[in-house]
Chains A and B, each alone.
Chain A
Amino acid sequence: MPHIVTLNQETDTPARREYIGSVALTYLYDRSRDSQQAGGRGQDFIAFCGDDERLAFAVCDGVSQSFYGDLAARFLGEKLVRWLAELPFPDDAETFRAALSAQLAAWQPEAEALVAAQPIRPDLPPLLRDALMRKRENGSESMFLAALIDHRAGAFAACWMGDLRLRLFNAKGEELPLPEAHWETRQRWSSRFGAKNGAPQVLLMSLHSVARLTAHSDGFGSRSDMLKRFTLESLNALADELLSLPASDDLSLLDVALNSAPEQRASLETPVPQRMQGEPALCWQPVAGAEWYRVWLEGAGRAFTVDVETSESPTFLLKAPEGVYACRVQALSNHRAPSALSAAVHLEIAPAPEPDITRQAEPTRTKPVAVEKLVTAQASASAIGQPQAISQPKQDAPAVAEPFAWRLVTAIAAAISAGLATVWYFVHMR
């Protein structure tokens, strides 16, 4: 089972570069300013999976107008990468399109069930709950751009729906035209309908004249020309600039530079993780030159990765469903070859204990503000005032806690009863 590397949607990932075989992979993931400020998830998603011979990747742009677009983006991105990673390189575009179309249809019921199971918190305001329920009826949607680069075949196969962009550059840095490609915002994949507004677009092409492939979301907008040539620093500066604009959107970029080698060929030292006592967590000594770490996990029927920021005492706390997970740690750097994977350390997530007590749900607002019996102000047109009598919303009153005095009286009465019972016992039973 191939491990799929995914970028966390809950945080931002600055521009990073890593090396997989002869390929340099550069990526960046920034949530929109709204999401950053509110601590929300990004709606985009990046995933990849590769070795010396093949690289599969997906960049997805969840539709924010749909129900939890990040959900469809993550679901579809992982499915696409896993499928492409194991796909024999297609013979022709139509075969590829047909196979992809079949997969997009096959994944729909599973996604529909996921969407149906996604809880809508009962304590949300009624208007927001209504809006989310309306969105859920229409499902979760995402645009996507995915590709398989096969070095043995000397070719790549790309597919997409929506307005994410695939751009190709030759060794001179000149952009190669893609005259047959169409990027249509209306096209997307839906948890309710599968492929929506047409068949997926596909492209099969030799790697002969291609030096770089760049996939990016529409968040780069009119500044996408800046992606023709970039450094990690210029990418971060561009992201900062775009995030300051009023229409700030999620930004995701994945760039594949073929036939690349790190500045320093020597690999990083391999981390030596140890299990921490009392919790499903690992710690290890920092590796010199490491700029981040990746934990490779396998267990409970899944193989996945989690990236960990560097620190003076790197740690990783496993958050996953119940099961035993084999964990290996790798050190990575923008400028050096990654380390080998560490030996596996096993972590176990125990079944969640049954709760000792059950708590009553918080009462929810049930009634909007009513504007009734408006008391009129002055009779002039400019006399605008707030209504002087606004009936207050009716709420289901939560159970009132017993006051302290009442509890005291109850306790004294109980003590007196016990005393009387004792006296009665000594009088009558002896």
Chain B
Amino acid sequence: MPYTAVATSTTPVLIIYLLDISGSMSQMLGDKRRVEIVSDALQEIATEMVARSTKGELVAPRYRLAIYAYESQVHDVLGGIRTIDQFVRDGVPEFSPRGGTNTAAAFLAAENLLAQELPYIQTHPAPLICHMTDGEYQGDDPTPIVQRIMQMGTQDGNVLVENIFISDKILKQPVEDAFAWQGVLSEADLANDYARTLLRMSSPIPESYRLEMQEFGYNLQVGAPMLFPAQTRELIRMAFTMSGATPVA
């Protein structure tokens, strides 16, 4: 059964964050800049991952993290992959928005990293890429790269790709309650072409992840795409929660 391998200290799950830090991320969403909300959400999910990895004070390295922040260029924020116990010592980075939106370059970086890692993690849970952006890509279309990535995988399943779109123009009907929201049910729910592009770049949610999300109180539909409209902080929190929802021992 796919996506049932549990994240343990000997079979940790690899999670790659691709974070758009282009200039538009300095715009406000509510009373905070978008980039600050992303940092807060990253802090929150890191705390949750630590909580899920902790017995007493012992942090088991169940998660391996890579963070690529991108604008016109791509920056390896952690200097490679860090286990969650190493991440605990270093803390959550802060970001300074600037430049354009070279989404293809970010996914290419993720593809390169996966190509290096996958031979050694075949018995681990399927890796997950969590991509967060607030605007349409500039330059090359990332779709072919993402489709290649979605064909890569471990024995547990193909690489999962999650997209978080910080925009109030992604859905025709706004989400009023993040906990009651069932996910994007069809293309017809989406309000613009880039949202539809992101939909094609999003994996369906595995059942094991959906059940983990239920533990957090979320009510996503079976097979809903891993595409999240980040219209509010609650939705951003939900989307980042998904990125840490690999089953743990």
Contact = CB atoms under 8 A, between A and B. Distances in A.
Interface of A: 32-35, 38, 40-41, 43, 64-65, 68-70, 121, 124-128, 130-132, 134-135, 246-249, 365, 367-374, 376-377, 379-387, 393
Interface of B: 6, 8-11, 43, 46-48, 50-52, 54-60, 68-69, 72-77, 79, 87-96, 98-99, 102, 104-105, 108-109, 112, 123, 140, 248-249
Nearest to A393: B91
Given A132-B51, A371-B93, A384-B68, 17 more contacts: A65-B248, A127-B87, A247-B6, A247-B11, A248-B8, A368-B91, A369-B91, A371-B69, A374-B69, A379-B73, A381-B109, A382-B112, A384-B109, A384-B112, A385-B76, A386-B76, A387-B76
A132 B58 CA distance: 11
Contacts of A385: 75-76
B123 A246 contact: yes
Contacts of B6: 246-247
A386 B93 CA distance: 13
Contact of A135 (B9, B11, B54, B91): B54
A19 to B, nearest CB: 34
B8 A372 contact: no
A173 to B, nearest CB: 31
B55 A125 contact: no
A383 B47 contact: no
Residue in B43, B55, B88, B105 with the greatest tally of chain A CB atoms within 10 Å: B55
A128 B41 CA distance: 16
Contacts of A135: 51, 54
Contacts of A43: 55
A386 B81 CA distance: 12
B50 A65 contact: no
B198 to A, nearest CB: 19
Contact of A369 (B59, B88, B90, B140): B90
Contact of B60 (A34, A381, A382): A34
A197 to B, nearest CB: 12
Contacts of A70: 55-56
A367 to B, nearest CB: 7
4 interchain residue pairs of minimum CB distance: A368-B91, A381-B105, A131-B50, A131-B51
B56 A372 contact: no
Nearest to B96: A372
A315 B95 CA distance: 58
B30 to A, nearest CB: 23
B191 to A, nearest CB: 29
A399 B58 CA distance: 30
A370 B93 contact: yes
A134 B52 CA distance: 11
A64 B108 contact: no
B91 A126 contact: yes
A374 B57 contact: no
